[in-house]
Structure formats: structure tokens, C-alpha cells
């Protein structure tokens, strides 16, 4: 009798689930993993497009070019702040100081604008960048908790803001028709300069995150700081840089806002840190770090801006309902991220 031979079982490759092929040779576990990853990355864009499509049919004034210009300009300042927050959260950190730094940057820019555009931009960048650098040194080098450090910076920046404005009694004005004022109020192709600047920064941020070793280090640090250290990656230096970048972007956004308003308003920025965190998380960046994208953050910012605009379109609701809707979206996204994370680990 001829001996019976058994075909060798091919080894299971990592990330392909159970190795059991479905119809046509497809691995169902691998398909679920890809679907979960796709939903996590692009789900917010699908929601944004759906909301825009429905709103365009329900409210004819929503789907106008003028309304689109207004929405994007208002969203551009939060977008710049949220860009810096994206880098911080990818590393597993948090920055609660950006709202106060945003307001401080506006006041410093308005103060410096009396000497021209260059001081109006350099002064807030220097001061706000220094605040971010201090945050980074305390967190990255001294090993302090990001929540505590940036909470202290929130209070410190707000206190410095009040000291510079006599407890808010003095409002610094930007000279009318100055080059700095035009930076916030001018437009190109129908869209304001702040929108175009935000798009350029997001493009540069995307390249930095996806095409450079620094960006890959951010993901590694967020995935596991201990593993990144064992790999020889500059964990402390990377942490210092991301918090410095967050401070710079928040200060720059505040300067642009001051140019648009023609004054350094002291009451702006309250709660902006929460809006920035919400936009980043809604955009698919994990709060625990290690995963995220700047494109997702941009969609998250636009979704929040569209929601605010729809509330204005309704007319019978006040702006406080935006916080209710944003909070609801945030809870849904966090729960979805947890479920998708479990699904990907189980495949």
C-alpha cells in the first residue's frame, strides 16, 4: 500500500488573523481588521460629508459660497491649534494650555503690531514657543505628568495675559490697513488668508508626520515609550519638540485671530483646548497615543464648525448646544475607538 502524504500547513503570517481563508481565498479576519482600520481613519470624513449633504438640502443658505467662506475662516484658527494638539496626543500626551496660549498670542501680537508685521508675529511666537518649550522640558526631561504641567501653564499664561491687559481693562488694537491686519482680513481666490495658511500648515504637518523619521518617532513614542527608549529613539527630545511646536502653533493662531479682529481680545480661547482635543479625537487620533493623522484632525475641525453653523442656521438654538453635540460626538467616537481597537486585536 502506498504511504499517505499530508500537505504541509503554511505558517500563519502576523496580522492575518486566524489564517482561515474565506470564499475566494480571502481571510475574513484580515478583512475585518482592514475595515476597522478604515473606519477609524476615515469615519469622520464620511460623517462630515453626510452632514454637509443633508444640511445642503434642508437649509438652502448653507450650501452657498459665502457661508462656506465664513465656516472655513472661523475653523482655521481652531485647526491650527488642533494641528499642534495632534502631534502631542500621538505621543500619548495632552496640552491643556493651548487656549490660554492662544489668547496670550493675540494680545502680544496686537501689542507688537504697532511696530509692524514682523514684531507682531515674532513676539507671540517667542513667548508662546517658550511656554511650550517649558512644558516639554518638564514633561520630557523631568518626567512630570502632562496633565499637571499643562494645567499649570494654562493658569500661568492666563495670568500673564491679565497682567499685560490690566485685568482685561486694556484692549490692544491693531492699526487699521496695516500689513498685519491684512494677514487676518485679506483673501485670495475668495478665501481668507487664515484658511490658506491653515491648509499650508496641515500639508506640511502631513509630510512631517508621514514622510520623516521625526514623524515615525512620534508614533513609536506614543505606542510605547519604553520600547522607543530601548530602540534608541530620542524620546525626551521628541517630547520637548512636540510641546514646543504646540505652543508655537497656538500662539501663531492667536496672532492671526488678533489680525482678523483688529485687536487682542482677552476673553477668547476659553475652552479652546477642549475643542482642540475633541477635534483631534473625533478625527481618529487615539487618546492613548500611537495612531492618528492630520487629515483626520482637519475633518474633525470642519465637522465641529459645520455643527456650529447648523445651530446658527436653525436660529432657535443658542451656541451652547454645540458643546452638547460635540460632547455626544466625542463619546461616540471614543466608544467606537475602543470597540475597533478590540476588534483589531482579536483578529
| pLDDT, tens digit (0-9, with 9 covering 90-100), for 276-330 | 998 998 888 888 888 889 999 999 999 989 888 888 777 666 666 667 776 776 7
Burial 274-309 (b: 16+ CB within 10 A, else e): bbbbbbbbbbbbbeebbbbbbbbbbbbbbbbbbbbb
SS3 (DSSP) at 49: helix
Q: Extract the C-alpha cell encoding 189.
A: 481666490
**Rounded distance between C-alpha atoms, residue 51 and residue 303, angstroms:** 8
pLDDT in tens, 72-94: 999 999 999 999 999 999 999 99
Query: 309: which residues sit within 8 A by CB, 6+ positions away?
Result: 62, 67, 70, 71
Name the range with the highest mean pLDDT among 126-140, 254-268, 333-347: 126-140
**Which of 35-39, 205-209, 297-301 has the weakest average pLDDT?**
35-39
Q: Is the predicted pLDDT of residue 118 greater than 90, yes or no?
A: yes
**Rounded distance between C-alpha atoms, residue 62 and residue 46, angstroms:** 18
Under the banding of pLDDT at 50, 70 and 90, the label for residue 3 is very low
For the residues 251-267, what does the mean pLDDT come to? 91
For the residues 121-130, what does the mean pLDDT come to? 96
| Average pLDDT for the chain | 83
Its pTM stands at: 0.85
> Residue 21: CA atoms inside 13 Å, Cβ hemisphere, count?
7
Q: Which pLDDT belongs to residue 86?
A: 96
Q: How many percent of the chain have pLDDT more than 90?
A: 49
The distance of Cα 97 from the centroid of its chain, to the nearest Å, equals 14
* Closest alpha carbon to 245 in 270, 275, 215: 215
> Residue 136: CA atoms inside 13 Å, Cβ hemisphere, count?
24
Higher pLDDT, 104 or 270: 104
Name the range with the highest mean pLDDT among 24-28, 97-101, 230-234, 324-328: 97-101
pLDDT in tens, 274-285: 999 989 988 888
Query: 200: which residues sit within 8 A by CB, 6+ positions away?
Result: none
The H or E element that residue 98 is part of is helix 98-112
SS3 (DSSP) at 164: helix
Q: Extract the C-alpha cell encoding 109.
A: 501680537
**Rounded distance between C-alpha atoms, residue 93 and residue 241, angstroms:** 12
For the residues 123-141, what does the mean pLDDT come to? 96
The distance of Cα 299 from the centroid of its chain, to the nearest Å, equals 10
Residue 3: DSSP 8-state: P
The distance of Cα 180 from the centroid of its chain, to the nearest Å, equals 25
Higher pLDDT, 267 or 25: 267
pLDDT in tens, 228-242: 999 989 999 999 999
Q: Is the predicted pLDDT of residue 112 greater than 60, yes or no?
A: yes
Under the banding of pLDDT at 50, 70 and 90, the label for residue 266 is confident
For the residues 23-46, what does the mean pLDDT come to? 60
Q: Extract the C-alpha cell encoding 206.
A: 502631513
The H or E element that residue 321 is part of is helix 320-346
Amino acid at each position: 500500500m502506498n504511504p499517505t502524504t499530508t500537505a504541509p500547513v503554511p505558517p500563519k503570517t502576523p496580522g492575518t488573523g486566524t489564517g482561515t481563508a474565506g470564499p475566494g481565498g480571502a481571510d475574513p479576519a484580515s478583512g475585518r481588521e482592514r475595515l476597522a482600520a478604515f473606519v477609524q481613519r476615515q469615519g469622520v470624513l464620511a460623517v462630515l460629508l453626510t452632514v454637509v449633504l443633508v444640511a445642503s438640502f434642508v437649509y438652502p443658505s448653507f450650501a452657498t459660497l459665502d457661508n462656506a467662506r465664513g465656516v472655513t475662516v472661523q475653523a482655521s484658527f481652531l485647526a491650527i491649534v488642533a494641528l499642534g494638539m495632534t502631534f502631542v496626543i500621538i505621543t500619548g500626551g495632552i496640552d491643556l494650555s493651548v487656549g490660554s496660549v492662544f489668547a496670550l498670542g493675540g494680545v502680544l501680537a496686537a501689542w507688537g503690531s504697532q511696530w509692524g508685521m514682523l514684531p507682531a508675529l515674532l513676539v507671540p511666537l517667542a513667548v508662546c514657543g517658550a511656554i511650550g518649550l517649558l512644558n516639554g522640558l518638564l514633561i520630557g526631561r523631568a518626567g512630570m505628568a502632562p496633565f499637571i504641567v499643562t494645567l499649570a501653564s494654562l493658569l500661568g499664561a492666563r495670568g500673564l495675559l491679565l497682567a499685560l491687559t490690566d485685568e482685561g481693562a486694556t484692549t490692544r488694537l491693531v492699526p487699521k490697513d496695516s500689513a498685519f491686519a491684512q494677514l487676518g482680513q485679506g483673501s485670495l481666490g475668495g478665501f481668507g488668508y487664515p484658511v490658506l495658511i491653515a491648509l499650508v500648515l496641515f500639508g506640511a504637518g502631513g509630510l512631517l508626520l508621514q514622510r520623516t523619521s521625526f514623524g515615525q518617532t512620534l508614533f513609536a513614542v506614543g505606542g510605547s515609550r519604553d520600547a522607543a527608549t530601548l530602540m534608541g529613539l530620542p524620546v525626551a527630545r521628541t517630547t520637548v519638540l512636540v510641546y514646543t511646536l504646540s505652543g508655537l502653533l497656538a500662539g501663531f493662531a492667536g496672532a492671526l485671530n488678533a489680525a482678523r479682529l483688529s485687536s487682542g481680545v482677552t476673553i477668547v480661547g476659553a475652552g479652546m483646548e477642549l475643542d482642540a482635543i475633541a477635534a483631534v479625537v473625533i478625527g481618529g487620533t487615539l487618546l492613548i497615543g500611537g495612531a492618528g493623522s492630520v487629515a483626520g484632525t482637519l475633518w474633525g475641525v470642519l465637522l465641529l464648525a459645520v455643527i456650529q453653523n447648523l445651530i446658527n442656521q436653525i436660529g432657535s438654538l443658542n451656541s451652547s448646544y454645540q458643546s452638547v453635540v460635540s460632547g455626544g460626538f466625542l463619546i461616540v467616537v471614543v466608544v467606537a475607538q475602543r470597540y475597533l481597537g478590540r476588534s483589531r486585536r482579536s483578529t
